[in-house]
Every structure is written in C-alpha cells, then in structure tokens.
Amino acid sequence: MGITARILCSWSPAAGPRTRAALAIGALLFAGSALAQEGRALILGRISDSSGASIPGAAVEVVNRATGVRFSSKSNPQGHYEVPFLPPGVYRLSIEAPGFKKLVRENIELRVGDRLKLDFALQIGEVVETVTVTAETPLIEAATASLGQVTDRRRIVDLPLSGGNAITLARLAPGVTYTGVPNHPSLLRAVAAAVNFTVAGTPAGNSQYTVDGALAMSGTGPAFMPPAEMVEEFKVSTAAYDASAGYSPGASVSFVLKSGTNQLHGALYWFHNNNVLQGLDLFQRQQLYDPTTGPVTTEKKRFVAPQHVINRYGGAAYGPVWIPKLFDGRNRTFWSYGYEGFIRPSVERGNWFFTVPTLRQRQGDFSELLRLGPTYQVYDPATTTPASGGRSSRQPFPGNVIPTSRLDPLAQKLLKYWPEPNVAGRADGSQNYFRPPRSRNEMGTHTGRFDHNASQRQRISGRFNYNDAPFTSGQVFPNEVTGNTEDRANLFAGLDDVITLSPRAVLSVRSSFTRYKIETVPLSGRFDLIAAGFDPRFVAFIDPQGRFVPGISITGHTGIGGAAPSSEYTNYAYLGADCSWVLGNHTVRGGAEFRVYRAHNYQFTQATPTIGFDSTWTVGPLDNSPAAPIGLGLASFMLGLPATGTMRINSSYAMQSTYTAIFVQDEWRLARRLMLSAGLRHEYFGPVTERFNRAVRGFDFTSVNPIDAAAAANYSRNPIPEIPVGAFRSYGGLLFAGVGGQA
C-alpha cells in the first residue's frame, strides 16, 4: 500500500538551449529509494532487538552465492542499513552485533532494479549462536513506488523470440504497445524495428536503454541488442518516481548481461530454417495450386517460394579468470563472452523480367523493330534541319541501322555491363532477361563482460559489444554494376566503478561510449572512369571518393549504376556518478550526468553523374513526332547523345548536442511505516551545433553575392539589350518579378 504524489515544473524558452527542472515529492508507506535507470539492486531495512529498539553498528554482509563476492555495510544509530549496487542474483545475508545472536537469511533473489526492504529483529545471545531465517523473497516491492516488469532468464529461454531478440518480450509489459509492422522479423540487426513501441502513451523513440547500468543509446533508440544467450534478465520501468530518472518521458529498459561465476559454464546453439521446413503460407498455397496458372511444376514452386535459408548460430561461456600458477580469480575476478552469427541468403519473389540490348542492337542494328510500325524508325540527329512552325526535321537511318563509324566508343565500352538476353521476351524485345534479384543478410555479434573485485571497498566492471551487419541487395545483373551493400556496425564499451567510502556511503561512477555506423557502398566499389572511356578532364571534377559506376538510364531498357556511397556515424558518450549516504533517518542521494551526442554524415549522391537517354535526338521525322516506347533511347545511347545529366558536389555535416543533469533525492523515514521522498533534478539540453561552423540559420535574401563585381565585369564585355550594364547584379538570394524593383 502506498501514497505517491509528483509535481513536475518545467520551463522552456522559445528557442536556443532547453533547461528543465523537476521536483518529485512522494509520501510512501513501506517505501524506499528508487534508482529508476539503475540496473543493479538494493537491499535496505532496519535492524532492531525484540522490543523494537534500534541496534546501531550492526555488521551487515551480503554474499553472492554464485561468485562468492561479499558486500558489507553497517547500521546507523537509528538502526537503518543499506547495501546498494548489487548485481542481480541469489544472495545470503548475515547480520552480527555484540550481545546478539548472528542472523542469517539464505536464498535472497534479487532481480534487475529491485529495491528490497528487509527488516530484522535480533535475538539476545552470543555471536557464536546463529539464527537462520527461511522466507521467500517478497513478490511485491514495498520499497519503491516505481512501476515496471522484469523478464527473467526462464522467460527468455522458454518463450518464443522473434529473431532471437530478447527485447521482443518487452511488448508483454503493462503499458507497452507495439506500433511497428506486424510480424516483422526482429533480428538483432533490426534494432529500430524491434523497439518500435510506445509506453504509457508516450511516442515511440522516447525510452532509455542501459546495459549493466551503462547507457547504450544511439540517437533516440538503443545502439544494439545483446544476443539472448548473453542476457540474464531485463526490466521495463514504465513509471519512475525518482529525481535520478530524467532525459525522456518514456520507459527505462535495463539489461543485465550474464556474468561469470566460480564455475565454468557454456552453451552452444544453432537455428536453421528453409523453404521445406517453413512450408507455404495461405496465399502461396493458393497461387501454387491455382489451375489457371498452369500445373504444379518445379519451376512454379521456385517462383511461388524462392530460395529462403536462415542460419543463426552462436555460443557463450562464463567463468572465473584463472591462469594456472599465476592467478586464481575465483571469488574475485570473472568474465563472460558470447558470439552470435546470422546468415540469410535469399532470392526475391516475383516476375523479375528486365530489358537488355539484343545482340544486333549492340551493333547498331534496330531493323527488327521496323516490323512493329513506323514509330520505331531511328532518325539521324546529324541530319536535323529547320522545319515550318519552328520545328525541326530529321532523316531516317537507312534500314534502321546506325553505321559502325557513328557508334560512340564510350557506349561500346559500357555495353559489356548489360548481360545478353536469356529469354525470348516480347515482340519489341522487352522483358528479354530474367533473373530474380539476390540479397544476403549477415551479422556477427561479440558481447562480453568483465567483473573485478579489487577489494572489499572497490568493485570494477566493464562490458563491450561489437557487431557488424552487411546487407547486400539490389543486384539485378550477375555483375557488380547494380546493387549495393549496406553495412551497419556498432561498437559499445562501458565501465563502472563502485567505491565504498564508508559503511554508510557508497559512490558509483560509470561511463560508456557508443559508435554506430551505417555505410552504403555500391557493389562495384571504386570505378575506373578513365579506363571505361570517360575524358580525364571530366573525371578530374569528381571527388575521388565518389567515383563509382555512373547511373545510366535508357528509356525502355533497364539501367545500370547510379548507386552512391554514403556514410553516417553517430557517437554517444556518457559519464555519470551518484553517491548514497545513510544519515540518521535520511537516505540522501546526489548525482550528475553528462552526455555528448555527435552525428556525422557524408553522401556522394550523383558525385559521379547520372545520364539519361531518350528519344529526344532520334525521333522523327519531326522533333515532336510520336516516339516508340523502346528502341529510340538505346539508339541515342549508341550515338553518345544524352538528353539529361546530373552531377553534384556534396557536402557533409558534423552535428553535436550536449546534455547535463544534476539531482538530489532524500528519503526521510518519518516513522517505521511512513517515508517522505523528495527530489530535485535540473537538466540542461544544449543547442544543436555544427562542430566546424558550417551550418547556416536563416537566409539573407538581400545579401550581395561576393562574386558580384567579377560577374559584372565579365557581363560588361558581352551584355544583352534587356539588361543594361549598370543594372546587372548577382544576388545571393531569390529574385521575384515586381519585388524590389526587379523586372
């Protein structure tokens, strides 16, 4: 039973940095501290004698049953004790005080984020006498008003996981609503898709994610998801009444990785799926057995259900650091490591017919198209002459054949990147090539954890994750002039140091760094444009990093190239500290955190030009005559006469934002069954800036272009009657007729 109240005061100026202050006040029955974003657990309570009088200075020791690591504390003059920052696990608690029997309580199970309140009454006697208390761990957390749900190891193992991703079980927590695509495969790679859920009505993308208490964010979502075999448990906190929680209004998702124990353990697993094992869905079955589409054949089966293979495999090991005759880390130093691999080659389903030049067309011979009608006649652009009505006319190529001497050398070199036809196609030669696009999805994830108990007063732990996930798609032809590879890679490292300053004061300092990369590279890699036939003077204008297969589009035919490389990097650095003091009837916590978010982006879109070929130069007899849907564009390509072309000089950006917060929280025990909790948090959201001052805010429409003087001088040498030399200006903004004296 509890009574809670929360007052949130916020102030936000219209522009610029954002500052937010929050005041949280709660009156709780059976209540205690609540570190909303802290993944470790806490045991607290009061030690008294049989009459209810406080016992000061009682020694409290908590021992992890799996690792043997000891955590100690002492009760204060009011009998209150607190043992914070306990990793989830099963513990044994013992209490000793002069003149009283030793008290021992076994099998205390702590889960992620637990705040367990245990009061004890000691019996008078000798310390050598022991009283063993046997009781179940309370199912109701009476020491916190925060709401959340823990998904333990048993649920992770027993419940089905889409793509082997444990975060999918977060959708079972109260207040969580999945808003993503139904039945979307939630692979470890598909981080954004897996966490596309809202919490208590807050928009998606407003939750915070931690791994062993270390921030693991990239932008507005998690940077990575650890393999399920490495997850001990996780908690989704949906409502936090604590000043230590802030930054965003959504949930706090805390993962706890498996840690090593005094015994060596391990696991291996393999998941395989393919067309045969998966079977056909309802729509595939209807299509396969539809008599109107022909009998059931092997080719029809392949069309309805193309190649589909999934292999997900991995393993993990956990244990103490043990080097024979050199170091025995039992009860002190532990490690854990896990790897998961994923491979999914696939063939796209559908009528994947494409159009490529025929063997005769590659020689400039379009005579086969003439039988389809006069609109397929190719006209010679070199014979263009003026016609009445402001039009122009051309003469046809005899026999619809372009002379060999007129074929463009560059076009001849580029033709080799189109494969030869492999099916008959239609009468006009379209859809004469069949090949379902191939794709390949891969991922390798390395996850590890390290725990070292330097002394009774200091514990150091670290964790890391690295994954690399290349995805190849869009490869239409059996070469590398189509398609690209999108590579997503993530690096995460976190470090935590817990220092016991005194029996009643504990300090925790933690830091983390996340680097997330999305890089897209065409399958062709860097392309030698000069060897392909492009003029070296033209190639010199292209950034060497952007020299890839040019995008060539031909009306009526399948194009090649045009895939542009791009790279996006995000860095997220975090540093935080908080300290807890037990002072009389008060437990005071204070802390601060600092975050730096950096985003870098560079794209080479159309750095290598995209060139379009259509009927502009080969239609006739007039320039506005009807054009055939196929043939004339390819003829223009063979002549080396593009209709359009685009080339860009791209820029990049390096954005940065910072976040700073401080908080103080006080739990005041007014009575044995009543606690007042009050906290204050101040947050500062720094402005988004460009690190090298390349961003522009606003636009001056009246600013004079710095090249105005040179442009005016050049214009004066060859002016036009409509603009006198003295009226010529080069402005840096937009000009509108009738505004500002503009004609």
**What one-character DSSP code corresponds to residue 196?**
-
- Report which of residues 486 and 200 the model is more confident about: 486
Condensed to tens digits (0 to 9), the pLDDT of residues 130-188 reads 666 665 555 455 555 556 788 888 898 888 887 788 888 888 888 888 877 776 667 77
131 burial type by CB count under 10 A (0-12 exposed, 13-18 middle, 19+ buried): middle
676 burial type by CB count under 10 A (0-12 exposed, 13-18 middle, 19+ buried): middle
> Which residues fall within 8 angstroms of residue 533, CB to CB, at 6 or more apart?
409, 410, 413, 414
Q: What distances in angstroms separate CA 79 from CA 98, 135, 587, one per listed residue?
A: 14, 22, 13
Query: Is residue 602 over pLDDT 80?
Result: yes
Q: Where are the beta strands (DSSP E) in 295-378?
A: 309-320, 322-323, 327-328, 333-347, 353-354
Query: Is residue 304 over pLDDT 80?
Result: no
Q: Where are the beta strands (DSSP E) in 476-528?
A: 484-502, 505-522
Structure tokens at 93: 């608690």
d(CA 295, CA 282): 18
d(CA 529, CA 308): 37
Query: Is residue 641 over pLDDT 90?
Result: yes
User: What is the SS3 assignment for 399?
Assistant: helix
Q: Span 320-336, mean pLDDT?
A: 91
Query: Is residue 406 over pLDDT 90?
Result: yes
Q: In 281-405, which ranges are continuous DSSP H helix?
A: 282-288, 298-304
Q: Which pLDDT score, from 0 to 100, does residue 2 have? A: 31
Condensed to tens digits (0 to 9), the pLDDT of residues 554-567 reads 999 999 988 888 88
Mean of all residue pLDDT scores within the chain: 84
Query: Is residue 701 over pLDDT 70?
Result: no
pLDDT band at 401 (very low <50, low <70, confident <90, very high): very high
Pairing of strands 438-455, 433-434: unpaired
Closest alpha carbon to 402 in 611, 625, 643, 631: 631
Q: Which pLDDT score, from 0 to 100, does residue 139 have? A: 47
Number of neighbours of residue 249 by Cβ within 10 angstroms: 13
d(CA 685, CA 550): 43
Q: Which pLDDT score, from 0 to 100, does residue 613 have? A: 96
> Which residues fall within 8 angstroms of residue 715, CB to CB, at 6 or more apart?
723, 725, 728
Give the DSSP H/E element, type plus range, for residue 583.
Answer: strand 566-583
Query: Is residue 21 over pLDDT 50?
Result: no
Condensed to tens digits (0 to 9), the pLDDT of residues 492-505 reads 999 999 999 988 89
Query: Is residue 255 over pLDDT 60?
Result: yes
Query: Is residue 629 over pLDDT 90?
Result: yes
Q: Which pLDDT score, from 0 to 100, does residue 12 have? A: 33
Span of 66-70, 112-116, 452-456 with lowest mean pLDDT: 112-116
d(CA 677, CA 35): 12
8 Å CB contact between 253 and 236: yes
Highest mean pLDDT among 9-23, 98-112, 207-221: 98-112
Query: Is residue 96 over pLDDT 80?
Result: yes
Query: Is residue 55 over pLDDT 60?
Result: yes
pLDDT band at 289 (very low <50, low <70, confident <90, very high): confident
Q: Span 31-54, mean pLDDT?
A: 72
Q: Which pLDDT score, from 0 to 100, does residue 431 have? A: 93
Q: Which pLDDT score, from 0 to 100, does residue 710 have? A: 86
pTM above 0.85, yes or no: no
The owner of tokens 């509108």 is: 736
d(CA 415, CA 474): 20
> Which residues fall within 8 angstroms of residue 158, CB to CB, at 6 or more apart?
none
pLDDT band at 649 (very low <50, low <70, confident <90, very high): confident
Q: Span 390-407, mean pLDDT?
A: 94
15 burial type by CB count under 10 A (0-12 exposed, 13-18 middle, 19+ buried): exposed
8 Å CB contact between 417 and 481: yes
For residue 176, how far is the Cα from the chain centroid? Answer: 20
8 Å CB contact between 661 and 246: yes
List of long-range contacts for 220-224, beta carbons under 8 Å, 24+ apart: 221/191, 221/192, 221/195, 222/167, 222/191, 222/195, 222/253, 223/191, 223/490, 223/492, 223/514, 223/516, 223/572, 224/188, 224/191, 224/445, 224/465, 224/467, 224/490, 224/492, 224/514
User: What is the SS3 assignment for 193?
Assistant: helix
d(CA 402, CA 268): 65
The owner of tokens 């029955």 is: 29
Span of 464-468, 599-603, 637-641 with lowest mean pLDDT: 599-603
The secondary structure of 5-41 as a DSSP string is --B------SSS-EEEEEEEEEEETT-----TT--SE
Q: Which pLDDT score, from 0 to 100, does residue 254 have? A: 86
Phi, psi dihedral angles at 246 (to 5 degrees)? -170, -155
Condensed to tens digits (0 to 9), the pLDDT of residues 703-738 reads 667 777 888 888 888 888 888 888 887 765 566 666
Query: Is residue 9 over pLDDT 80?
Result: no
Query: Is residue 549 over pLDDT 80?
Result: yes
Q: Span 683-691, mean pLDDT?
A: 91
**What is the Rg, in whole angstroms, of the alpha carbon atoms belonging to the chain?**
35
Q: In 658-729, which ranges are continuous DSSP H helix?
A: 708-717
Q: Which pLDDT score, from 0 to 100, does residue 743 have? A: 56
Span of 205-219, 367-381, 440-454, 530-544 with lowest mean pLDDT: 205-219
Query: Is residue 444 over pLDDT 80?
Result: yes
Query: Is residue 600 over pLDDT 50?
Result: yes
Query: Is residue 30 over pLDDT 50?
Result: no
For residue 264, how far is the Cα from the chain centroid? Answer: 33
